[in-house]
Structure formats: C-alpha cells, structure tokens
Structure 1
C-alpha cells in the first residue's frame, strides 16, 4: 500500500515524511499549500499535513505519526506501558513548550492579519523556548535519544522543532541539544525526507 502525504516540506509535513522514511514505507506527494482550495478538498480546515490512507484523510502531524508508529510497530513503545506513558510525556512537553512557542512566533510574524500581530512577543517566546530546550535536555540525560537507546516519535518532533527554531531566528545555544540533534539530522531517512 502507498500512502499520500499532502503539504509542503517546509511545514510540519516534514515530520510525516521523515517518519515514513524511517519506517521504509512508500508514499506519494501532493505539495498543496496551506489554506489552498486544493488542500481544503482533503482537510476543510486548510491545514497541513494530511495523510491519505486509502479513503481516510488523517490530519495533525503528531496524530499521523502516532498512527503510523502504532500501525507499523516502530518508533514507539506499546500503548498501555509505562514506557509509552513516558514517551507520551516527552511528546506533550514538546508540543506544549517548544512547538507551541514556535507556532505563536510564526503567527505573530506572517500568519495573523497584520493588525493582529504583536511582534514584541517574540522576545519573550525566544526566552521560553530556550528554557524548554534546557528542561528537555535535563529530562533526556546522557542517552542518545529521549527515551534512551531507542528512537521514538518525540525525537522527530524535537529535532524538527530545533530546525524550525534556527530557521525562525531563535538562538539555539544549548550545546547538549545541538549534540543530540546533529546525528538525528544526519540519518539517511532525514536526508531523504529533506529532499522529498
């Protein structure tokens, strides 16, 4: 079976592409832009990414990644285990403290109507992001991945947030985070997803 991934690579769609590459799954691409009429045929909210699995259109990058991880039995711990609860703790921390901060900065840079933007908030968001990165590294410890020796869904989210932060001009001064993310960005699946 071949999946179809909808959305530009420079969005959270990248997470889904990387996940599929890690899983060794084949997929087709549609690069419909957010809020475009072509995209709204699959997601009326106009948001990317969208994953087509047969007749089903799945939305939200994290939900899609969890679906794929559970379906293919990889990059995750089994539901109902303590390890899965810890993994989900990392996922929710990343979404609440890092992804949401970057998304708020993006909204106040180019997404919201100009009269609704508050550019001054970005300095506070950069401070919040740096605190979150420090806390993430404290929780991670010395292991190669967030969950120890096994790469899981939150590693994809964390690495993507790091790349997003750099692209958005957020200072990423935590040496431990840079050392953690560098080998993840060097993985063959990451490189293939970047080229998709």
Structure 2
C-alpha cells in the first residue's frame, strides 16, 4: 500500500522528510495540507494537527526522526539514514541537535512575528537568537572534515541540517566568522535532492513573516 504523506513544501520539517523520501525514491501520495479537506483528515490522525505525518496502512507516524527511522525499517531504500555503531549514534545526536538547537530556536523568531502586536515576546526572541548563535559556534567547532555531518555518508543528520541551516541563516546569518558551517550549508543546498526541496517551496516565500532574503 502506498504511503500517504501529509505536509507543505515550505515547511522545514516537511523538507527534512521529503529529502529522505526522494533520495530513496520511496513512492508516496503527497497530501498537500492547503488542499481542501486535507487538514481535517490530518487532525483525525495527529492529536495536535501537526505535519509532516505519514500513514502507512492504518498506522499513523509523526515526528520526522521517528518517520525516517520507520522508513528505514519498513520501506528501506539505498540510503542507510541511521548507520550502525558509533556513526549511527553520532547521526542520531546531530539530528536532534539540528532540530532542537537550530530549527526550533530559529522558529522562536518566526512564531513571534506571527503573533498579534500585544502578544509579542522580545525577550523570548533574544534568548532564541542567543541559543541559535551558540549552536552555530558549537557546530563550527565540532563538525568533522568530511562533506556531511557524519563523514562521507549522507544521513538523517543531514536531512535535519539542510532545512535547519537554510532557514536559520535567514533569521541570523551564519556569517564569515564560521567558514566551516557556512561551507557545510552551501554543500547541503547544492545537493540535488535538497535543491529540489528548496525549489518546491520557492513560490511560498512570501509566507515567511520576517521577509525572505533575496538569496538562496
């Protein structure tokens, strides 16, 4: 049975999962959440109405890292997203690092921009930016010398890193003081599957509440 995939092309977490699906050429039906009735259907399967989500038969799987692990176990392709041994542990760690300390901290400023004027949280935004720059500095110091997060193999960590660094740089530029991290972001955006994900979301850039920069 073909997977049902619920998502939106401009969503960072949707892009994370699409990178894995497209790279493995996994067949799926794309349920775009802006299409009529799709969000109502999504809410029947997700307690919070959050996406991305996949339906695999009668089983709903959400949270992107869990979905990628599910795909590797039940719909394996050519990529081993979570390698064996120490490389796998490193990939899992960096996957969580990019989600929690890059993607989620970037989203603090984005969410604040969407709030009504009387509900703004400048302190929360400043702390989010502070944590984001701390994450940048840690990555600059701790990324390895290989092309990808865990060396030569493109893993779940890179699926997380691509949309995280893509959007985070719009909120707080990585800048020339972090050349290793900036070069890693550039390699990710040059990857054909990542470039496809970016291009699919391009027509929605006017959704970005802080104003999408005229680059990337």
Name whichever of 55-64 and 92-101 sits farther off.
92-101
Deviations along 1:96-149, one digit per CA (max 9) or x if unpaired, are: 321221233333222x56544303432332232122022123221211111111
TM-score, normalised with respect to structure 2: 0.78
Residue 7 of structure 1 corresponds to which residue in structure 2? Answer: 7
Residue 16 of structure 1 corresponds to which residue in structure 2? Answer: 17
Unaligned runs of 5+ in 1: none
Residue 103 of structure 2 corresponds to which residue in structure 1? Answer: 99
Residue 214 of structure 2 corresponds to which residue in structure 1? Answer: none
CA distance in 1, matches of 2:56, 2:128: 36
Residue 135 of structure 1 corresponds to which residue in structure 2? Answer: 138
- Contact 2:144–2:150 (CA<8 Å) still a contact in 1? no
Residues 4 and 75 from structure 1, CA distance in 2 versus in 1: closer, same or farther, beyond 3 angstroms? same
- Contact 1:21–1:192 (CA<8 Å) still a contact in 2? no
Superposed CA RMSD: 2.3
Unaligned runs of 5+ in 2: 201-216
TM-score, normalised with respect to structure 1: 0.85
- Contact 1:2–1:25 (CA<8 Å) still a contact in 2? no
Q: Which one of 46, 57, 60 corresponds to residue 60 of structure 2?
A: 57
- Contact 2:162–2:194 (CA<8 Å) still a contact in 1? no
Residue 149 of structure 1 corresponds to which residue in structure 2? Answer: 152
- Contact 2:17–2:159 (CA<8 Å) still a contact in 1? no
Paired residue total: 191
CA distance in 1, matches of 2:185, 2:144: 14
CA distance in 2, matches of 1:116, 1:26: 42
